[in-house]
A and B are shown apart, each in its own frame.
Chain A
Amino acid sequence: MTERLIQRVLGPAGPEVTCEQCFEQLDRFAEVELRDGTAAAEAAVPGMTAHLEGCPACAEEHAVLRELLRS
């Protein structure tokens, strides 16, 4: 609980893409992630995972797109 609250406030530590870059790369990231896993997707789009940890809105859109592609 405490750790989650701290995580929410302080966000990710490493470099991250912007919201604009996240949207630009979201389709590519989701496809690589579903095909080859999260590590491969992060290698394809460095900084994406950190941004998804720090931005609830982008994280929600990423989750929906992933579920949609798997449906």
Chain B
Amino acid sequence: MLSPGDSTDVVAPAPAAVAPADDTAAWLAALRGTGAERERAIGELHELLLRAARFTVRRAHAQRPQLREAYEDLAHQSADDALVAVLAKLDTFRGESRFTTWAYKFAVLEASVALRRHAWQGREIPLEQDGWRTLHASDPSPGERAESRELLAALPAAIEEALTSHQRRVLVAVTLDGVPIDVLAERLGTTRGALYKTLHDARRRLRERLAARGFELGGGGGT
């Protein structure tokens, strides 16, 4: 789902400033051990990952309580998948955080991806619609700047002229239609990283086009 080599404007992370916590060494020793000690550690790790996966799905089923049972299955499946990923990547752990935090992120990723896919299961993604053509500001709201309304009015032409059809599809689906990027990646048979690169390139082209037309774009995209 995340593939290496997909890059945007790469920035190099600074050296780690976080020392591993006390339990990290114990976790690593147990998981790299053998026999009953390792089996016990794997069992405890699964419990830890299940806690993280349940935490993730609980946030979601607070809004959709009718799906409680499906979400419990989803949490278990996510914890199972995360366990496989953690054990496979154990040698890549660099000790830049607590081991448990590092492990948690795999369960959070698995559960989050599964939730988004579940939410979009069976839903059509309107990839061919020209949604950007109807981009326009509604009635002015208090405090809204005229420059922002002008910028919004200029966006449809910039999207049409500066982007490839693939870039337009990705931009519209992710930023206007709210399609999760990993769901879109699955439908298009590509990776989340590759699609984000497409989105990043599209945004850069749009900014360049708008700047060439005299818009002063700040960090937040406003004028």
Contacts and interface: CB of A to CB of B under 8 A. Distances in A.
Interface residues of B, number: 65
B90 interface: no
Interface in A5-37: 5-21, 23, 25-28, 30-32, 35
Contacts of A30: 97, 101
Interface stretch (B4-12, B38-46, B69-77): B4-12
A65 B56 CA distance: 9
Interface residues of A, number: 47
B219 A12 contact: yes
B59 interface: yes
Main secondary structure, interface of A, reads: helix
Nearest to A66: B108
Given A10-B207, A28-B97, A55-B181, A3 B8 contact: no
A20 B148 contact: no
A33 to B, nearest CB: 11
A13 B218 contact: yes
13 contacts: A1-B144, A3-B148, A6-B151, A10-B207, A16-B8, A16-B9, A17-B10, A27-B97, A31-B98, A44-B17, A51-B8, A64-B56, A64-B59
Interface of A: 1-3, 5-21, 23, 25-28, 30-32, 35, 43-47, 51, 54-57, 60-61, 64-65, 67-69, 71
